[in-house]
Amino acid sequence: MNRLLVLSAALALACAGPAFAAPAAAASGAMTKQQSKMGDCNKEAGDKKGDDRKAFMKTCLSGKPMTQQEKMKKCNADATGKKGDDRKAFMKECLSA
């Protein structure tokens, strides 16, 4: 009796799983502008943590332009690994954007 009950419960869950997954997959297919912006800001936030990350995300998502200091930090972080004229050109381009 218990075996039959467990088997029927497992079968019901197996059949119900795809039914619940379908609406979520359909909904995630078309990202809204806000979701896309959230993804971009999340990538830019990189390894920031705590209050620094919260402040960055708030600024990024609000659409307000970055301050010069914030822009300098971001460009410096993005320029890691570049040296000499390559770095100088990158920083000029990054800071003027």
Q: 33-91: per-residue pLDDT in tens?
A: 888 888 888 888 888 889 888 888 888 888 777 788 888 988 998 899 999 999 999 99
C-alpha 36/C-alpha 30 separation (Å) is 10
Asked whether residue 22 carries a pLDDT value surpassing 50, the answer given is: no
**Predicted pLDDT of residue 6:** 59
Radius of gyration over every alpha carbon of the chain, rounded to an integer in angstroms = 24
Q: Which uninterrupted H or E stretch holds 84?
A: helix 84-96
Its pTM stands at 0.39
Q: Are 41 and 53 in contact (CB under 8 A)?
A: no
Q: Are 32 and 44 in contact (CB under 8 A)?
A: no
Q: Are 94 and 75 in contact (CB under 8 A)?
A: yes
**Predicted pLDDT of residue 85:** 96
